[in-house]
Structure 1
Amino acid sequence: MVLSNINSFLDLIVQLFFIGLAFWCLNDIHLEKYVRMHVNQFRILIILLSIVLGYIPGSFFIWIINLTINH
């Protein structure tokens, strides 16, 4: 039970880290120069892109961590 809670907490931390990293990187690209839309729409787009781009490497690293723990 405790190991399951630690594993879930670790998964959450890894996912949030990679989503935050993707958000930080997308803000430095300055996509507003290339996409014409309202400010609020652009902010939501950046948040959604950050979630998508952060979920993929986060899931990969969680998979690697689980693979190394279980073997």
Structure 2
Amino acid sequence: MESSNINSFLDLAIQLFFIGLAFWSLNDIHLERYVKMHINQYRILIILLSICIGYVSGSFFIWVINMTINH
């Protein structure tokens, strides 16, 4: 029981780390120069892209860790 709690917390921490990393990376792209949009639309787009990219990369990292542990 305690092991699954630790794994869940570790998974959550990894996901949040990669979402934050994606957000930090996407802040410097400045898509508003190329596409006309309001600043609020731009902020929401960056947040949604950060969640998508961070979740996928975090899931991949967790999958790699699980594969190395189980094999």
Superposed counterparts of 1:34-53, under 5 Å: 34-53=34-53
Count of aligned pairs: 71
Q: Residues of 1 paired with 2:70 and 2:61: CA distance?
A: 14
> Partner residue of 1:29?
29
Superposed counterparts of 1:1-71, under 5 Å: 1-71=1-71
1:69 Cα deviation from its structure 2 partner: 2.4
Higher helix share: 1
Deviation per residue, 1:9-60 (Å, 9 max, x gap): 0100111111111111110111121121111111101000001111111000
Q: Gapped runs of 5+ residues in structure 1?
A: none
Q: Residues of 2 paired with 1:49 and 1:41: CA distance?
A: 12
Let me know the Cα RMSD of the aligned residues: 1.0
Q: State TM-score, norm by structure 1.
A: 0.91
Q: Residues of 2 paired with 1:50 and 1:28: CA distance?
A: 12
